Structures are given as C-alpha cells and as structure tokens.
Amino acid sequence: MTTLTFPLSRIEGHARVEIEVREGQVISTRFQAMEKRGFNLMVQGVPAEQMPVIVPRICGVCSTAHHVAAVKALEDAYGVEPPPLANQIRELLLLGQLIQNQATSLFVFTMPDRLGVQSIFHITDEEADTAAQFNIAKRALMVRQLGTDLITLAGGQFIHPVKAVVGGVSGGIDAEKADAFRKRLRAALPVACELVDYYWEISLHMKDRIGTWGDDQPAYYISSTERDNPRYNSSIIRVMTPAGECCREFTADAFRKELIFEETDYSYAGRTSYQGGVIRANSLARANMTRRMGIRRADAYMRRLRSEFGHPAHPILLFDLCRGIELVYAIELASQLLEDDYSHNEVDIPYTPRDGEGWGLVEAPRGPLIHHYVIEKGNIAMGEFIIPTVHNMLAIERALRVAAERYIHDDQVNLELEQAVGRVVRAFDPCIACATH
C-alpha cells in the first residue's frame, strides 16, 4: 500500500489530502481537517447574550455569518421577531460578506489554477504583460474591498461585526453614507463583470487544457435561499434531487431528522448526507436551486450557465463560475437595497431573556449555517455549530477519487495529480477553520 499525501494551500484553515493506492488501484481518498478548534466547548457557561460577539472569532473570513446566526439563535430562544428594517440591514451585512468571500475565492484562491501560476500577483515574467497583470490584481482587490467596506457600513466593523443585536440592529445607516456607497457599488459593477467574463473565458481554456471539468456525477443539493430573488438572511433549508426537483424543505431545528450527520476517525470535521446520497452546498447548489435571481446582469449570467452546461449542472469546477454570478448579483442587489432609507424608523425592539433552546440559520457563502444553543440560568449549556463545509465533505472525497483515478495508472502517477487535488478542494471553497467543531 502506498499513501500519497498532499498539503493544501489557498484555502481557509489547515487540511490535507491522503490518497491510498495498491498495485495501481486507488483504494481511498481522504480529505483531512487537521486542527481541532473546539468552540462548542469554549462557549459552555458563557452568558448567552455574549454569543454574538464571541462566535465571530471562529473565523476571520466567516465572522459575519456567525454573528448573524448567533443573534437569530438567541431571538428564537427568546421569542423575538426583529423589525423589517433590521432584517434589511442584516441582509446588506450578509451581501457584504458574499462580495468579499466570492472575490477572494475567485481571484486570490482559484484564478491562479486557471492561469497555471501560484498567485495572481505573479502571473508572468514577461515584461509586456506586467501592466495587464497589475491591472487584474488591482481590480480584483478593489472589488474585494467593496465587500469589506459594506460589512463595515452595515455591521459597524469588518472582521468581527457588532451591529446585529437581539431584537434587531444597534443602529441604522446614515443616508449620506448609504448614498455614497451606492455610487461606489454602481461604479464597480462593470469592473466586476469584466473580471467575471475574463474568469469565465480562462476557465473554458483550462477545461480544454486538462480535458475535464472534474467530477461531473449528479448529487443532491442543499441551500436555504429562495427559488426566486434569493436572500441570505434565510429561514428554510431546501434539498434538490440529482434530477433537479425540490424534494424536501425543513427548518433548522429539523436538521438531524432530515440529514445524516457523522464523524470520521481521520478528520476533525464531520460530514452529512441525504438518505445516504452525496450532498453539495455552496454556489453551485444555489445556482441549481434558483429559478431567477431577479437582477438583470446576474440573470443573464444564469442563462449563459444553463445554455452552456444544462440544468441542473454537476461538474465541480462550475462552482467557481457560479461564485462569479453571485459576486455580480450581490453588488447589484446591494446597490438597489441602499436606495431605501435606513436612517430612520424602528431598528430594534425590546425583549426579555429567558432560558430555552434556539436555532439560528443564515445562508453563508459556503451554504446553510446553523447555530443551536441551549440556555440554562442565562448561560450557554450547549452550543452546536453546523458548518456549511460539512455538507460538501463526501462530495470533496468523491471528486478527489475521480481525479486520482484519472491521473494514477499502473503505479505511475501523472504529475498533474498534485494540481488536480488543489483544484478539486478549492472548487468547494471549504472553510476548515469553521468546520472543526
């Protein structure tokens, strides 16, 4: 038995891939989360109302989703319904995270795979291409900055937002600041579209180069966004069959009844399945499960996706194209939402803390994120975090096996395998920092 080990880069957190081979045959592929975080233990005994400022520390990238999910779990336990304006501000906060995350994943993590380089900041040594290289990197970082600044506008600060509170939000958005930011979003939209168009084209060229879009076998899909005009401050989880039909809808508190969750003996991250079938979450799941985005440019990209790849689309490298669609969607939707006035009216309501059980759900960039708390004597007796990446674990390992069988033959390993392993994992944009609880 030979074990091939591949450490991973350009992902969030620490993980590696192990492929076991015997006499030229792939025996197993394992995706290993190597760090133990233990936030479920750290929060035991913590005053419940402190959770929204503690859980963003789970991850510097996913902090926004954890912040909002924590507030919603406490609201569920306390029986609180925030006012509509507060929910709208929370939606803007989550759109900021979507912009920031999708720009990071597309341009910092996966664009180098398309170009056959290690970084977008070192694309070529040819002097003639230096200006073009700098222009791509500069525009990519500018678009990413929009997301971080929108999180600051709606959430009070970027890495660990503070503005979502039980009962609503701690304050509105100044009308002058909202108008100025809306103008920034509109100015950046054509730039984002140009970057997504370029990414789409180099993706097509990469497929021609390596001869595959990766694992293209059908899977179940899971999302908590709506079928039309998707929003990320969500309430219902939906499951789609491999044939493209919505087969199940359930609330966060039914998670363990509807999905099979299991631990493994080789990774600190768990995994889920639906009736024993492989699940995929994240951008491709949302694209497959959305009928229309309700935004002109994003809907045009969706029509192109379905024209070129069918519906539902299954090849895993399409995750990245769908992130591009969502990047455009989030910028244009945020621009539209900021036309409303967030500086007046009711942004929170009073509440009375109480013991009990609460569930909080949001659609994070990687899929449905659930926080589950049991509160006793005002403190957290049990905190559970169901991370979107766990829904992709089986799908990642299946896709890794497809790649391994493509590049391993008769005890000979094609050197493309190492690149393929990175492409497979980064297609799913896993967050290992969040998933190890």
Sequence ranges of the binding site for Ni(2+): 59, 431
- Residue numbers in the known binding site for Mg(2+) are 62, 437
Give the residue ranges of the annotated binding site.
59, 62, 431, 434, 437
Helical packing angle, 130-155 and 63-78, nearest 10°? 20
Q: Helices (DSSP H) in 338-361: which residue ranges? A: none
Whether 160 and 61 have beta carbons less than 8 Å apart is answered as no
Which residues share a beta bridge with 370?
Answer: 361, 386
Structure tokens at 374: 């049991």
Crossing angle of the two packed helices 175-210 and 318-337, in degrees rounded to 10 = 170
**Element (H or E) spanning 416, and its range?**
helix 416-427
> Contact 94/163 with Cβ under 8 angstroms?
no
Contact 316, 78 (CB under 8 A): no
Q: Which of 334, 344, 347, 364 is nearest to 165 (CA)?
A: 347
Q: Report the binding-site residues for Fe cation.
A: 434
Structural contact between residues 369 and 68, judged by C-beta atoms closer than 8 angstroms:
no
- The single-letter DSSP state of residue 431 is B
Strand partners, 277: 274
Q: Which two tokens stand for residue 162?
A: 């503070």
283 near 102, Cβ under 8 Å? yes
Beta pairing partners, 26: 21
**69 Rama sector, left if φ>0, alpha if ψ -120 to 50, beta otherwise:** alpha
Q: What angle do CA 182, 283, 401 make, to 5 degrees?
A: 155
Cα 127 off chain centre by: 36
Which 3 state secondary structure label does DSSP give 90? helix
